Amino acid sequence: MIYDIEFETLPREALTAIQLRRLMATLERVYATVPFYRSRFEDAGITPNDIRSLEDFQQLPFTTKQDLRDNYPFGMFAVPMDNVVRIHASSGTTGQPTVVGYTARDINTWSELMARALTAGGAGRKDIIHNAYGYGLFTGGLGVHYGVEKLGASVIPVSGGNTKRQIIIMRDFGPTILTSTPSYALHLAEEAEEMGVSFEKLKFKYGIFGAEPWSEQMRQEIERKLHLKAVDIYGLSEVMGPGVAVECHEAQNGLHIFEDHFIPEIIDPATGKVLPYGETGELVFTSITKEAFPIVRYRTRDITSLNPEPCICGRTLVRMKKVSGRTDDMLIIRGVNVFPSQIESVLMEIEGIEPHYQLVVDREDNLDTLTVHVEISERSFSDEVKVLQRLERKISHSIKEYLGVSARVKLVEPKVIARSQGKAVRVIDNRKL
């Protein structure tokens, strides 16, 4: 099913025309109302009138996370506070949080896009959605919540945490769709098993998971353990929240970007040069319908590529590949670049271990070292030390073979690695201490 059949299946020329018109209006508005954009455009010697095509647009300067921090908390808002009805903020795990605002119309647009995303992920009006994304300043909980109501399905606003109670609700209320981070979905599976509740007997058909990177192998693991079809949803608070892009459950192969509201670009993170379709680089977004917090050429730091080929679901919207990581969580271990999700892919292929891991980076004698902590399964737990040592060597060998990185592997007991209720902490970097 497609929620907005007109806008999700537009011919490319019609879509481009809409994008250009909306972009020009956005540029006029930010130039007139946000001092930051006016001075950036002036520094670059550009006025909104100079932008006449989507190619001209590539001359505009980028906006970075630092720019948002410099204008903390409300400096980038393009409307007076009396028109702002909602405020969210990013978690701020990598520094000061960034604060974003929404007008009533923005909330309506976001809800529409979330309704589209949920529909792409398999939801319909009859579904009951167990929403375990955190409610609060994080955009996940409320973003999904409003989308479900717009769609006309039923939402259980359970939020993250209190995991045992979640399992009881799942058993008793019979939700058909689960929304949570992929790491929390696995934790729910684990807790259910301990409580003797089998996911096989629950009513879930689809899970719509996002807010953190997760590998294709992790998807298979989740689908197997939770007995549902898992689709990927992407978004970020600076651009809106969840619902910027989503996979369709038909193809589960790349996330359709809602291009009638956001213009994506892929750039070389080192030079800022725009890269053609198919090439991997940093994702950049411009919002073209937002009122309170429009954003121009925002560098997301997320690494992906764009695929314009038609999709079996009928949507004409470009697809972004599953995000493999962020430019700022790329590890450089003795000169070799590696993303946590690549290590995850290798781990998931190995028998006898669980999908719970943490990467610890240290610096010894000026050299970076990587230790992979990974849980062994209950079954392997009772194996002899010799067997376990062999398993450690096997994992270390696979990481070296596939990724070219030397890593120490440390097997840990089941349930030792901290479970997260939202975004999982995959990397502990001791080098900064």
Nearest distance in Å: CB 17, ligand DLL: 29
Helices (H), 121-181: 139-151, 163-173
Nearest distance in Å: CB 326, ligand DLL: 5
Nearest distance in Å: CB 91, ligand DLL: 5
Q: Which of 235, 281, 294, 340 binds ligand DLL (CB under 6 A)?
A: 235
**300 counts as binding ligand DLL under rule CB under 6 A:** yes
Nearest distance in Å: CB 129, ligand DLL: 13
**133 counts as binding ligand DLL under rule CB under 6 A:** yes
Q: Within 265-294, which residues bind ligand DLL (CB under 6 A)?
A: none
**156 counts as binding ligand DLL under rule CB under 6 A:** no
Nearest distance in Å: CB 113, ligand DLL: 12
Q: Choose the binding region for ligand DLL from 70-78, 133-141, 290-298, 313-321 (rule: CB under 6 A).
A: 133-141
Q: Choose the binding region for ligand DLL from 45-53, 132-140, 220-228, 352-360 (rule: CB under 6 A).
A: 132-140
Partner residues linked to 185 by β-bridges? none
Nearest distance in Å: CB 262, ligand DLL: 13
Residue closest to ligand DLL, measured at CB? 210
Is the CB of 323 or the CB of 361 nearer to ligand DLL?
Answer: 323
x/- mask, ligand DLL, residues 203-232, rule CB under 6 A, reads -------xxxx------------------x
